[in-house]
Amino acid sequence: MRLFSRKREVQEPGEEPSDQSPAPIGAGTQPLAKAANRVVRPPPPRPPGRAAPAPRKKNKGFSLDLGKKAQAPKTKAAPKPRKKGLFSFGGKKAKLEPAPTELIHIEGHRVLVPTYEDIDRYQSIVYPVREPYQFVNLEMENGELVYRALEPRLTAREKEILEKAANAFDMLVNVGTVLTSVEDKLQFLEETFRDIVKIYNFKLSEVEYRRILYHIERDYVGYGKVDTLVRDRFIEDISCNGPDVPVFIYHRFFESIRTNIVFDEVELNNFLLRLAQLSGRHISILQPIRDAALPDGSRINMTLGKEVTKKGSTFTIRKFRSEPISPVEIVMLKTGDVRVFAYLWILIEYGRSLLISGGTAAGKTTLLNAISMLIKPENKIVSVEDTPEINLAHPNWIQAVTRVGFGESGAPSGISGISGISGQGGRSAGDITLYDLLIAALRQRPDFIIVGEVRGEEAYTLFQAISVGHATMGTIHAASMSELLARVESQPMNVPRVMVANLDLVIFVAAMKRGDEKVRRMREVVEILGVNPSTKEIITNTIFTWDPVTDTYLFNGRSFQIEKISRTYGIPMEKLDSELERRVELLERMIREGITNYKAVTDLVRQYYLDKDALVNSAQPAAPPAPKAAETAWVEQVEQPGQEHGGAKRP
C-alpha cells in the first residue's frame, strides 16, 4: 500500500469534501495550507478524557492569515540626536570636565632641599624634581611620612586623546627610524604628536597640549610611573615588592618611605619587559631573575612573574648618578678628607693597588669612581664590571662589561654565575664573565685595572696580576679585615694569604646613623705591609681613622707605603711630605672655588701632572690652616707603627 498515492487536503469544518484542485493564492479567502499548496496531515484524534491543548499565542509581528493585513512590528522611537562637543570617539561622549588651566596643582610649603625641620613645622612640603612637570610632596599621614610623586593628572578628555594618540603612534611610526640620543627621540615624539593633533583635528589649549605631550614623553622615553622617582636626586633606591603594593623608596634624608605609586599585575609585567629591553637584557619565565644596568647607569634587579617571588613580579633600582661624584664633593659630604685624598693621590701616581671594602650600600663604587679620577688622564685604564657603573672622563679608557650567553645553562636557577646569585652554576654558550674580561685586560698592557666588584674566581687572577706588578683597584663586600681575609681565602675566590699580602691598601667604608641622619664615612684606611713568617698573619698599619665624636679623620703618624715609595724611587721623604701639602692645598682651593664637576676636577688633575708649579701659582690660594696634631709629617716616628691582624704587635 502506498502511503502518499495522492495529495490530501485539510477539510475545513462544515465543508464538504471536494476532489477539485485548490484555488490559486489570492482567489478569495483560503486557508494557509491551501494557499501555499502544502500537504498537511490532519491532527490525530484526541484520546478520550484528555483536555484540548491551549491555543498558541500568535506572533505580534505578523498575521498567519494571508487575507488579513499584516501588522507592522513595533519599533523603538529614534534616539534624539546627540549634541556634538569638541570631540567624540566612536560615538561615545567624553565626560565633560572643566578645561585645566595649569600644568599641575601643587599644595604644600615649597622648599628646595627637604629637611626634618620643615616636616615638623609645616607637616607637608613640596620640592621640585623637574620643573614645571614633576614635584614631590612629603606629608605626614597618621604619624607616617608619605612620598607623593606629583605630575600632571589628565582629565577624562585628555586620557581619551592620549589613548587615541598612542594608537596613532603605532600606525605612523616608521619601522626604519633609528634614533639613539634622547634629544632626537623627544623631538621625534613632539613632531609626531603635532601631526596627530592636526590629522584628528583635536581642539587643544596650550596647557592641554603640554600635559598630554608630557605623558607621551614619560611613557615612551622615560620610566613611566616611576619617572619622577628615578629623576629625584634625593632617592637612592626604588623598590617594588609586587603588584597592588605601594612602591617604596630609600630617601637620602628620610630613609625608607612609602609612595603613592601602585602597579597592577599586567602593568607591572609589561613594565619589567620594557626595562629589560631598555637595558639590552632578556627576562622570561625560563630566566625569571635578571641583573641589568639602565641607560642612566642605575643598577636594577628584576624578577618576572610568580616563579621565584610568590607575590608577583618585582624590581629594585639602585640609582647611580649619570655625573659621578668627584673627590671634592666627597670631601664636602665629609665622607672623606682632603688629607686622605692627597695621600691616595700619591699612592695612585706611583702605581699602588687598593681595595675598597664595606657592606651593602656603603658607597664603595661611588668612592672607587672618585679615586679613579686621580689617575693621570694619559694612563691606559681598563675597567671590568658586571653592570657599567664606572664613569670616567679619561680619554684612554676601555670599559668592558660582562655578557649573558644564549640558551640554557647548567645553573640550577636558570641564570649564569656572573650575576653572583648562582655562584658556581653552569655557563651558557657565549657567556662572558669577569674572569674572561680580566684575562683579556691583562693582555692589553694597561696602567690600571679597575674591577667593579671582586666576588668570584676572577679574584685569584686579580691578585696574580697584583703580584706581577699591575696596578689595580676594586671593591669587595667585607666590613673588616678579618671578614675580608675569610672571604678571599674561601670559595669561590681561593686566594692564598701570601698573595693577599701583595695588596698595598684597603679602605673600609660604612653607612651609619649620626643623629637622625644616615651618613657614609671612610672608617679606616689600612696599609698592608706583608705576612709574618712565623704566625702567617697579615701585618697591617692603620694610617687614617674616623673619629665619630668629632666627625673628623685622624692621621696616625706614619705611612710605610710612603716610605716604600721613597726607597723604591729614591725620593726624599721631605719632598714627598711637601708634595702632600701641595695637593692638600689644591683640593682645598677646589672646594673654595666650587669646582665640583668630575670633568673639571679631572682636567685640573691633568694640569697638575703636566705643570704643577704653574697650576699652584696661578692664583693666590688662602693660607693653609695651622697643622693639627693629627696632621703631622710623614716622617714622624711612632712607637708602634704597625700591628699584625688579630692584635699582635708588628715585629
pLDDT, tens only, 495-547:
999 999 999 999 999 998 887 778 899 999 999 999 998 998 999 999 999 99
| DSSP assignment of 611-630 | -HHHHHTTS-PPPPPPP-TT
Residue 440: CB atoms within 10 A of its CB come to: 14
Provide the H-helix boundaries in 393-502: 434-442, 458-467, 481-488, 497-500
Question: Does residue 549 surpass a pLDDT of 60?
Answer: yes
Burial of 639 (0-12, 13-18, 19+ CB in 10 A): exposed
Domain range 156-318, its CATH number among 3.30.70.100, 3.60.150.10, 3.30.450.380, 3.40.50.300: 3.30.450.380
How many degrees, rounded to 5, is the angle at CA 269 between CA 165 and CA 314?
Answer: 135
**Positive/negative CA dihedral, 206, 212, 214, 216:** negative
Task: Say what the pLDDT of residue 93 is.
Answer: 47
How large is the average pLDDT for residues 80-102? 52
Give the burial class of 494: count Cβ atoms within 10 A of its Cβ; 0-12 exposed, 13-18 middle, 19 or more buried. exposed
Query: In which band, very low, low, confident or very high, does the pLDDT at 555 lie, cut at 50, 70 and 90?
Result: very high
- Taking only the tens place, the pLDDT of each residue in 405-452 is 665 555 444 344 433 344 445 566 778 899 999 999 999 999 999 999
Could you state, in order of their start, the residue ranges of all structural domains in the chain? Answer: 156-318, 327-644
Beta bridge partners of 475: 356
| Confidence grade of residue 100 (pLDDT, cut at 50, 70, 90) | confident
For the cut 50, the answer to whether the pLDDT of residue 348 exceeds it is yes
Question: Residue length, the chain?
Answer: 651
| Residue whose entry in the numeric block shows the C-alpha cell 645553573 | 411
| Mean pLDDT taken over the chain | 80
pLDDT band at 641 (very low <50, low <70, confident <90, very high): very low
Please check whether residue 251 is in contact with residue 147, taking contact to mean a CB–CB distance below 8 angstroms. Answer: yes
Query: What is the distance, to the nearest Å, from the Cα of residue 576 to the centroid of all Cα atoms in its chain?
Result: 44
> Ramachandran region of residue 570, left (φ > 0), alpha (ψ -120 to 50) or beta?
left
The residue whose grid cell reads 629623576 is: 231
CA–CA distance, 598 with 600 (Å, rounded to integer)? 5
Specify whether the CB–CB gap between 209 and 182 falls below 8 A: no
Handedness of CA 81, 84, 90, 93 (dihedral sign): negative
CA distance 7 to 226: 84
Position 127, amino acid: Y
CB-based contacts of 87, cutoff 8 Å, min separation 6: 94, 157, 160, 161, 200, 202, 203
Strands 643-644 and 255-262, how do they pair?
Answer: unpaired
Grid-cell match 708602634, residue found? 640
State the average pLDDT over residues 215-219.
93
Distance CA 354, CA 450 (A): 10
> What are residue 86's phi and psi, to 5 degrees?
-70, -30
Give the pLDDT of residue 79.
Answer: 55
CA angle 363, 365, 371 (to 5 degrees): 100
What is the structure's pLDDT at 323?
A: 81
pLDDT of 576 over the 90 cut = yes
User: Among residues 438, 437, 433, which one has the least CA distance to residue 422?
Assistant: 433
pTM here is: 0.69
C-alpha 313/C-alpha 224 separation (Å) is 16
The three cell numbers locating residue 408: 640554557
Contacts of 498 (CB under 8 A, 6+ apart): 531
Q: Residue 156 contacts by C-beta under 8 Å, 6 or more apart in sequence?
A: 94, 95, 97
CATH class of 327-644: alpha beta
d(CA 627, CA 603): 29
Question: For residue 290, which of 383, 223, 299 has the smallest C-alpha distance?
Answer: 299
**Cα-flanking dihedrals φ and ψ of residue 376, to 5°?**
-60, 125
d(CA 371, CA 360): 19
- Write the pLDDT tens digit of every residue in 266-287: 999 999 999 999 888 889 998 8
